[in-house]
Structure 1
Amino acid sequence: MDPAVDPQAPLTSEELITLLRARWQASYDLQLVQRRGRFYLQVMWAYLEQQSFPLTPEAYGAKLEELAGLLNGLGVAGQVRHWLSTTAERPRLGRAMGLALELPPERASEFLL
């Protein structure tokens, strides 16, 4: 992770792609899921550079832009940035990697019903 980047600075789709490519040399699919009152960021096993990837580069960029907005809204940009920069895990076929997001208390009540 670039030490010049403020950990609480908003994420962008470009930064997400850069983090993914720096870590795994591929643009993996990301998903935000909610289970049992918690949010998880998942790194899926499919990636943009695969021939069978279902999204175009433009659609992938738009999806990441929307995801970045959601992550920023949840107040977890720093957690995501740190995890994507430091995790030792690798995406594997059929198994998503997951980060349990720790929502700031003021955000948790807004997003969880």
Structure 2
Amino acid sequence: MNLALRHAVALLHHQAVPLSAEELIAILQSRWGVSYHLQFHRRAGRLYFQVMWGYLEQQSFPLDAAEYQLHLGQLAEQLNGLGVADQVRQWLLNNRDKPRLGKALSFPLPDQGRLSEFLL
């Protein structure tokens, strides 16, 4: 099922649409034309979702395409599990900034009581 149809079906059923690695890649490609590295970052007791400046299409990027896809799949599962997939999706789609060398884009994940599981 394509992404637009999946979103339409989920809206009809009032469900949150889970993120997938494929959707994350599609968003990154459509927004910035490259597949940026994504990660979680913990700072001062908060958890952030970050878009880093390195990207898959760089020669020096440490992951190959399969490893990158697996990494994004794991991130998507974690975001879905936290219940923040839609907030992250909207932030990625509407953020006006662009990652630059040494400057990641950071989205503070809303604490819904489950973030403490990630903060060791």
TM-score range, shorter-chain basis?
0.7 to 0.9
Q: TM-score, normalised by structure 2?
A: 0.83
Tell me the residue number matched to 1:56: 64
- Within the candidate set 10, 13, 16, 2:24 is matched to 16
User: Which of these two proteins has the greater Rg computed from alpha carbons?
Assistant: 2
User: Match of 1:46, SS?
Assistant: strand
* Aligned 8 A contact 1:29 1:43 in 2: yes
For structure 1, which runs of at least 5 residues remain unmatched after alignment? none
Partner of 1:65: 73
CA RMSD of aligned residues (A): 1.8
Q: TM-score, normalised by structure 1?
A: 0.88
Percent identity of paired positions between Structure 1 and Structure 2: 53
The count of corresponding residues between Structure 1 and Structure 2 is: 111
- Structure 2: runs of 5+ lacking an equivalent: none
CA–CA distance in structure 2, aligned partners of residues 8 and 104 of structure 1: 15
User: Are 2:38 and 1:30 aligned?
Assistant: yes
d(CA) in 2 for partners of 1:35, 1:82? 22
**Counterpart of 1:93 in 2: which secondary structure?**
coil
Alpha carbons 1:44, 1:91 under 8 Å: kept: yes
Q: Which residue of 1 aligns with 2:49?
A: 41
Find the aligned partners of 1:8 and 1:95 in 2 and give their Cα distance.
31
